[in-house]
Amino acid sequence: MAGLVPAIYVFVYCGEKGANPGARPGMTRRDAFMSTTLSEEQRLMRQSCRDFVDDVVIPFIRGDWQREWVMTPEERLPAEILQGAEKVGIRTLGVPEEFGGIELDRASEVQTFALIAEEIARGDSGLADKLVQNWKVSVLLRNLAPRHLQEKWFKRLVDDPQFLLAHCLTEPRGASDRWLPYNVPEAAMHTRAVKQNGEWIINGRKQFISNGYDAGLFVVYANTNPAVGMLQGTSSFLVPRDTPGLTVARCNETVGCRFMNNGELVFENMHVPADHLLVEGDALGKAAVYFRPGKIIQAAKNLGVGVRAFEVTSDYVQNYVQGGRILIKHQAVALRLADMATRIEAVRALLERASKAVDDNAPDADTLCNMAKVFASEEILKVAQHALELHGGNGVMLDFGVEKIFRDAAIFLHMDATVDISRFKIVKSMFPHTAGKYAGPEN
């Protein structure tokens, strides 16, 4: 596969990167959390990403820890980071090979997305989110966009390492309406699109959009039929950044994942050509090719944060001395470390099952991908909390880096739907005929 190179680094237990005297020789702690069912291609991809994270991303994050707090969003992430992602071939995953992208084996594509997302998030979850929006939107476009738009925009994406894509669904009000089966007119989007003189005119606002501040191309969802339910009346459009009437209103300053610039968009009489309509009426149903992988990738990014929390904590407790002995020899510390490892393994097991279900288009794929998202959100936050507390006072020091891991983990409770909304979706998918309707006129 173009752009992906074999690994040239050997990871063993030595020095700060891996001291764990009781482990078997030649096996890293990180390997202990890795699936043993990967193809050779997936192993090479994982190793390339691992090298990129260890050699480029983590040194940047640790060496310039103040950078995430720069309040000029354009200056937050150096261009060299995305250029590095391009060099190892992970920026344009999902883009058809005929357009110059990195096309994955469709039978295991979502599993590979998860694998790479985890590795990048181990270095920085904001960078991972910046990249995976490109992957997911590319999958959406290759399935829904007309040929001439694929030719134009995939070329632009491939040619410019800084070019980003964004998926614009969430609005300032009723955000959870988009995620639950609120299939009633009352839950329709406030963003409206009306067809006039052979083009679409869109008015409205989008909020909490990943890559929203930086993206060059947006997929925008709008209500086109207020008389029917949301699932029948929502359409999607392809909107370039320079479209008249589109304003990027601001960057939302978040507590974590700060190297992905979340944005707010405003549409005021925005004119969109008729051929930029992706799906009319059934846009939310057709977007399953985006939503299902999205849940898996969220869980995988969260898992990467947890693995990083375990790495730095296990190093710390085997080198920091308290009461005349290293911390790991204290039973309370050892118990917490075991708990962290157990939670990580449990998340990985569910994630692997869910990602395979999505690749296989299994009947329980919706249920499992929401379960993976919820479970990872809550379990990895507990892992990060253990990391914070086991570092003592150092855990809350900005320049030590552990509190960043905790902040990044906390964000996942609210990404791709809140955990409670996701639980509603799990119940709805398991018991569609008896679960609550949640919206519309009260009985």
Question: Burial of 134 by CB count in 10 Å (0-12 exposed, 13-18 middle, 19+ buried)?
Answer: buried
Same domain flag for 251 and 139: no
Which of these, 316, 339, 348, 409, lies nearest to 115 by C-alpha position? 348
Look at residues 199, 200, 245, 248 and name the one whose alpha carbon lies nearest to residue 224.
Answer: 200
Q: Are 304 and 426 part of one and the same domain?
A: yes
Q: Which of 124, 159, 194 is the last residue of a domain?
A: 159
CA atoms within 13 A on the CB side of 244: 5
Which is higher by pLDDT, 13 or 97? 97
Question: For 294-308, what is the mean pLDDT?
Answer: 97
Residue 386 pLDDT > 60: yes
65: domain CATH number? 1.10.540.10
Kindly state the average pLDDT of the residues 204-223. Answer: 97
Angle between helices 147-159 and 125-144 (to 10 degrees): 150
Residues 373 and 404 in one domain: yes
Backbone angles phi, psi at 350, to 5 degrees: -70, -40
Q: Are residues 41 and 104 in the same domain?
A: yes
Last residue of a domain, one of 285, 306, 335: 285
- For 243, the domain range is 165-285
H or E, element range at 192: strand 192-196
Q: How many CB atoms lie within 10 A of CB 170?
A: 22
- Range of lowest pLDDT (176-180, 331-335, 338-342): 176-180
Mean pLDDT confidence for 87-102: 94
Helix or strand holding residue 270 (H, E): strand 263-273
Give residue 3's pLDDT band: very low, low, confident or very high (50, 70, 90): very low
Residue 203 and residue 269 in contact, taking contact as beta carbons nearer than 8 Å: yes
Same-domain check for residues 426 and 305:
yes
Phi, psi of 250 (to 5 degrees): -170, 165
Q: Is there a domain that residue 443 lies in?
A: no
Same domain, 279 and 338: no
Report the distance separating Cα 343 and Cα 232, nearest Å. 40
Looking at the fold, whether 303 and 415 belong to one and the same domain comes out as yes
Strands (E) located in 197-254: 199-209, 217-223, 234-240, 246-251
Q: Enter the tokens of residue 433.
A: 């005929």
Contact predicate 152/285, CB 8 Å:
no
Residue 389 neighbours by CB distance under 10 Å: 15
Residues 423 and 323 in one domain: yes
| 140 in any annotated domain | yes
- Same domain assignment for residues 42 and 122: yes
Q: Which residues contact 311 (CB under 8 A, 6 or more apart)?
A: 29, 30, 122
Please tell me the pTM assigned to this model.
0.89
Give how many domains the chain has, as a whole number.
3
CATH value at residue 230: 2.40.110.10
Q: Tell me, yes or no, whether 68 and 96 share the same domain.
A: yes
Match 């699109």 to its residue by tokens.
193
CA distance 441 to 58: 52
- Do 339 and 399 belong to one domain? yes
Tell me the CA distances in angstroms from 23 to 26, 28, 31, 433, one per residue in order: 9, 8, 11, 51
322: tokens are 């308290």
Q: Is 264 domain-assigned? A: yes
Q: Mind listing the pLDDT tens digit for each residue in 9-49?
A: 222 222 333 333 333 333 345 555 555 578 999 999 999 99
17 is a domain residue: no
Going by C-beta distance under 8 Å and a sequence separation of 6 or more, which residues neighbour residue 196? none
The 10s digit of each residue's pLDDT in 143-169 is 999 999 999 999 999 999 999 999 999
- Supply the pLDDT for residue 185: 75
pLDDT exceeding 90 applies to what percent of the chain? 80
Residue 435 resides in a domain? no
When comparing pLDDT for 5 and 43, which is higher?
43
Local confidence band at 186 (pLDDT 50, 70, 90 cut-offs): confident
Distance CA 235, CA 198 (A): 16
233-271 pLDDT, tens digit per residue, is 999 999 999 999 999 999 999 999 999 999 999 999 999
**pLDDT band for position 187 (50/70/90)?**
confident
Q: Give the pLDDT score at 295.
A: 95
3 located within any domain: no
Q: Which of 235, 246, 149, 232 is nearest to 193 (CA)?
A: 235
Domain assignment present for residue 238? The answer is yes
Residues 336-360 pLDDT 10s: 999 999 999 999 999 999 999 999 9
Instruction: Characterize the bridge pairing of strands 263-273 and 199-209.
Output: antiparallel
Q: Is residue 20 part of a domain?
A: no
Same-domain status, 132 and 221: no
Final residue belonging to a domain, choices 251, 285, 319: 285
* Average pLDDT of the segment spanning 309-329: 95
